[in-house]
Chain A
Amino acid sequence: MSLPPPDLEPGASAALAARTTARAADEGLAQVAYVTVDSPVGRLVAVHTSRGLARLAYELENGGLDEILDDVARRLSPAIVEAPARLDGVRRELDEYFDGRRRDFDLPLDWTLSSAGFRRRILQECARIPFGATSTYKAMAIAAGSPTAFRAAGGALGSNPIPIVVPCHRVLSSDGGLGGYTGGLDRKRRLLALEQGIGQDALRAR
């Protein structure tokens, strides 16, 4: 003899789960909250801790949502929930940026995912390059106090856990070439074009 389990209405547990994770984020129980954000350069995964934005990942360039969250679970905490409300500010500033209505991000950043020392110094230097301007790997290395380490500077920028907001797309080769980019060179070109007011319409039209 067996007892059939109770029937659930479709979506019932999903709705309850969403209420639970919203509460967890409000009450500070979730150490890490994330949301996915659609943008003109593809879907982004934004990851937030109590300190600030810790990760902004190009979903497709990083193996998809699961792989991105697995990596964050290993390196920050497995107490990760999807909590869109917790990341409203991030989503709004990204929308404004891609609409051409925002030049600087006013988001607190959590640098935990970039290793302390040279790498983090490079990224923090990079964060000071203003909207619409560009710099070079060499200039970044000099600013970080290691003038000959421009290759390592490139490596540090390539490991940027918070692209777009920490604008590593504004760093080019000294010879004028594009260099590399964590989201692929096509995205680097598009971001630079957006900031230089060129091709904005094309960007929006996509």
Chain B
Amino acid sequence: MTKTAAHLPPFQRFLDAHRDDVLRFLVASLGRHDADDAFQETFLAALRAYPRLRPASNLRGWVLTIAHRKAIDVHRARARNPVPVAEIHDGAQATAASAATSAPAAAPVASDAGDRGDHWERVRALPTRQREVLTLRFAADLSHAEIATALGCSEQAARRAASDGLKTLRKELRDVPATT
């Protein structure tokens, strides 16, 4: 990631190296249904910009920043056209809704069901900045410095938002695994 390369890798290799990270981040940030489209939009936008990118760029941080912006677009669209929460997270309806834009073989990409996905639904309900920091930190595994770059804020502000968000979650959800 920090390795200096004289040339950019072929886009396909870059895509294969980061597709899991991008999808994990988008599923955490948007839920499984909207993650599908946002994933495609992210990598298409990346491909458009790719030939002009500096070879030594932090490609992982770069593509997750694009994914973050695509997630913002979806959250803004939702704010303009509110959908009942049950519908957003309902697998059957989500699949039907995405059928128009996706290939026929479109399969659900990741499951929000069960205990592991549950805390991300709570994260999605947090204030914007807290949601952004927590998804970038724990679903995309970016450092606070990288998050600060992606959000255009100070590292300190990113840490504070993460800590505030976790505090709220802890209150709401006593059973979130506490590993640190």
Contacts and interface: CB of A to CB of B under 8 A. Distances in A.
Interface string B8-31: 111111011001101110011000
Given A3-B119, A17-B16, A81 B138 contact: no
Contact of B10 (A5, A12, A13, A80): A80
Interface stretch (B43-51, B77-85, B146-154): B43-51
B4 interface: no
A70 B177 CA distance: 43
A164 B32 CA distance: 46
B47 A81 contact: yes
23 contacts: A1-B166, A1-B178, A5-B139, A6-B24, A6-B117, A7-B111, A8-B27, A8-B110, A15-B105, A15-B109, A17-B43, A27-B44, A29-B48, A30-B47, A69-B10, A70-B9, A72-B10, A78-B7, A78-B50, A79-B47, A80-B10, A81-B15, A82-B12
Interface size on B, as a range, is: 35 or more
Given A73-B10, A78-B8, A6 B28 contact: yes
Interface of B: 7-13, 15-16, 19-20, 22-24, 27-28, 36, 39-40, 43-44, 47-48, 50-51, 102-103, 105-112, 116-117, 119-120, 123, 134, 138-139, 141, 166, 169-170, 176-180
Contacts of B51: 31, 77-79
